[in-house]
Amino acid sequence: MSASFTIRRNRKRPSRVLLKGDVCVPVVEDLQEALQTLANEEVKLSIDCQHATHLDGAVCQLLLVANQSWPGGSDCFDLINVSPELQEHLERSGVCDATGALTS
């Protein structure tokens, strides 16, 4: 499965970035640009990991930095639909704690 992401904007609910496949270094630059655009618009954002099979270390770092610097703080940025396997990886990477909450 190739890595990709899709952006779904919504005015009434948080916008979403849907991650798919093994999200690795080649996707980071485009993902960073998309996150920066959304941050500049100060939208609430959910990163949907339902179809993500792996997040590379560079992607984990990007998500960690985005969470820490997102306009409105961590109340406006979260991860959703995280599989137990991916949850364990994110915990080991320091992106989130055992409850699934993103590390501040």
DSSP string covering 32-70, please?
A: HHHHHHHHHTT--EEEEEEEEEEE-HHHHHHHHHHHHH-
Check residue 73 and give its pLDDT: 86
Mean pLDDT by 10 residues, the chain (104 residues): 80 91 92 94 94 91 91 90 89 82 73
Q: Which residues, other chains included, contact 54 with Cβ-Cβ below 8 Å and sequence gap of 6+?
A: 21, 22, 23, 24, 86, 89
pTM for this entry: 0.88
The pLDDT assigned to 7 comes to 92
Going from the N-terminus, what domains does the chain have, and what CATH number goes with each?
4-93 (3.30.750.24)
